[in-house]
Structure 1
């Protein structure tokens, strides 16, 4: 429904009750009638949120139409579909002004739809494709999506370790599959934050003030995954790294253990909303970056000049992943502290 902005007068009802009438258009859209219940939520900034108590009320379906021609590149079309998805549209209608879509455009739509959780092609003819997004936002919350992203990253690290130990192509390919799944969850999380900011439902009231921090957090986690996948692409099938596996295996395993530990502490602090634990996760990731610098120096000393550039390239990617992880920990600290409102307890027990 369209946004409403009105100024209404507070009326006196009886001796001690003040009242404000509900907008007629809003009442009609929500399907309310006399005697129905509404939920009232008061936020910390004083904003009063009123939503129907009935869980059967849903937001109006959002439809977007994308007009293309035969000259529209499939890359541009894919980007438009992606943006339409993350900004919360439920139905995406792709329509060509020419008699038919090109073969590349059709394949581009299909590959993009496969990358979007809950999206399916429900209608198709020569000049039109309709994509429906079957996502019930009420089934998700941003914290669960963050948890899913962290678990995928931990799995990626496990496959990277196994890949360097056994040097099997299949292990590196599985890591890339996990990165594809991480991107899907990331995209859904971004969509969730957009829909959440527009719906402002009572169940999600706690998350609303922290949407900016959550968006920064999920972006940092996605960057960690992208960096890990770039390591797999760099190493996969390269005989130079296979020869250096003995040198790289132990330091990579050490840094991986530290990354996994930091991820566990980050998730625990986010779930418990424990400020001291969140601060610990920031300290751990800072130590991780420092520890990696020492580890990098010891590894570089053991390789020859011929292998140095490739090893250096891989180590730089690991360093970048550690930096993104540190940013993620800082975002979680911000979220945990902000969730405490006007009272932040830093006492040690």
Structure 2
């Protein structure tokens, strides 16, 4: 009993000024009334007669959403201080962190003096290469201001994840083509495409962070529960790593001096085809909430390991030159399949309740 009391006290302390206890009143013959805090009404700029929407959440709590408010992602602006000895890499990480936190207007202010050209170029580079829908709207001697112009409804989280997956899978296919043909130009294009994956990955992660903080954002993104954000985050990071491994294959294509023996190449391509197949199935299982497909995908990954051993045996038989580089290619393909397994496991975790509910329903019948 003492422990429960302590827990309640901690919860109340954490709620702080955000918690208000009000009584439910009964009026007329069938109407229950609950007064709203004046401070909240003023902050939402509501007046008598304005409409609000009541949304019943998964945990049976109610959310009150003003119908007259602007986009749900309009968070307040934030200012970060740039220290005199700060490096360009540190500043880039600071900008990305503020972007991921969900701020729409980001001020970068130097503590003293003028912002040097290297830091200014670093900000321009990270905006151009990594931040979707972001523009530099002010560039003074001591402050730089960025604004995120893209609103949440522009791109649903499912659409964005599918876009990231399509880019990553295309990178893998092109990297394998570059490897088979020793096409250095195509390999370099694959490496350049990694920036596009990073941009959309950060965009999705930013939206997921905002969704965990705001139920309205969660619904606008097409998600049901805050727990969905964890699974989607794991999926995005896994797809991002698949793109990195595609770059690894492309880099090997640039290094190799001679084409691989046909038999060895055929086994590597077979392994690659299966890795891409399980990656596609894992993403579909997550987005369609398909437990059975996710379960089959996890099993299929084991076949990739068997194909890797076959490819290694073929390489030794053919006495493949530059064996170390080719082994790295096999590792890149295997890791692609293993990241697909991670996505499939996230899909399993996300849909297990649906499987349990179906089983419970059958047992009652």
TM above 0.5: yes
Asked if the contact 2:171/2:190 (under 8 Å) is kept, the reply is: yes
- Between the aligned partners of 2:48 and 2:106, the Cα distance in structure 1 is 37
Residues 282 and 341 of structure 2 are in contact (CA less than 8 Å); yes or no, is this contact kept in structure 1? no
Q: Check conservation: 1:145, 1:189, Cα contact below 8 A.
A: yes
SS in 1 for 2:357: coil
User: What is the DSSP-based 3-state SS (H/G/I as helix, E as strand, rest coil) of the residue aligned with 1:36?
Assistant: coil
- 2:142 equivalent to 1:127: yes
Aligned to 1:192: 207
CA distance in 1: counterparts of 2:159 and 2:73, whole angstroms: 22
Once the two structures are TM-superposed, the CA of residue 113 in structure 1 deviates from its matched residue by 0.7
One of 130, 137, 141 as aligned partner of 2:152: 137
Q: For structure 1, which segment, 117-126 or 34-43, has the greater mean C-alpha deviation from structure 2 after superposition?
A: 34-43
Q: Which residue in 2 is equivalent to 1:17?
A: 31
Name the structure 1 match of 2:338.
Answer: 323
Shift of 1:345: 5.5
Deviations along 1:115-173, one digit per CA (max 9) or x if unpaired, are 21111111112222111111201223222221112111221122012202221112111
Match of 2:170 in 1: 155
- Contact 1:120/1:131 (8 A) holds in 2: yes
Whether the aligned pair in 2 keeps the contact of 1:66 and 1:95 (CA below 8 Å) is yes
1:93 paired residue number = 107
The verdict on how the C-alpha distance between 1:286 and 1:15 changes in structure 2, with shifts beyond 3 A counting, is farther
Matched, 1:221 2:239: yes
Distance in 2 of aligned mates of 1:67 and 1:278 = 46
Match of 1:254 in 2: 270
Local SS of the residue matching 1:301: helix
The secondary structure found in structure 1 opposite 2:317 is coil
Residue 6 of structure 2: aligned partner: none
Partner of 2:229: 211
Cα distance in 2, alignment partners of residues 3 and 184 from structure 1? 37
Which residue, out of 71, 78, 85, partners 2:92?
A: 78
Q: 1:40 to 1:343 in 2, by over 3 A?
A: farther
Instruction: Note closer, same or farther for the CA distance 1:5–1:72 as it changes in structure 2 (3 Å cut).
Output: same
C-alpha separation between the residues in 1 aligned to 2:135 and 2:232?
27
Contact 1:40 1:50 in 2 (8 A): yes
Alignment correspondent of 1:231: 249
The aligned length equals: 342
**Unaligned stretches of 5+ residues in structure 2:** 1-15
Q: Pick the aligned partner of 2:313 from 283, 298, 321.
A: 298
**Counterpart for residue 11 of structure 2:** none
Distance 1:133 1:35 in 2: 33
Q: Which of residues 342, 357, 361 in structure 2 aligns to 1:343?
A: 357
CA distance in 2, matches of 1:282, 1:35: 55
How many angstroms apart in 2 are the aligned matches of 1:196 and 1:4? 19
Q: Give 1:336 shift.
A: 3.1
Deviations 1:237-289 (A, max 9, x none): 431xx34264543123212221232233234333432322222222223433x
Whether the 8 Å CA contact 2:76–2:105 is kept in 1: the answer is yes
Could you say what secondary structure the match of 1:129 adopts? Answer: strand
Match of 1:264, SS? helix
Native 8 Å contact 1:30 1:57 kept in 2: no
Secondary structure, aligned partner of 1:195: helix
Asked if the contact 2:183/2:253 (under 8 Å) is kept, the reply is no
Aligned match of 1:276: 292
Residue 328 and residue 334 in structure 1: after superposition, are their counterparts in 2 closer, same or farther (change >3 A)?
A: same
For 2:200 and 2:186, the matched residues in 1 are separated by: 21
Provide the residue aligned with 2:9 in structure 1: none
Q: Which moved more, 1:267-276 or 1:120-129?
A: 267-276
CA distance in 2, matches of 1:341, 1:119: 41
Tell me the CA shift for residue 65 of structure 1: 1.5
Q: Secondary structure at the match of 1:302?
A: helix
C-alpha distance 235-38 of structure 1, shift in aligned 2 (>3 A): same
| Partner deviation per Cα, 1:25-73 (whole Å, 9 max, x = no partner) | 2222223333333222222322212212347454544222121233111
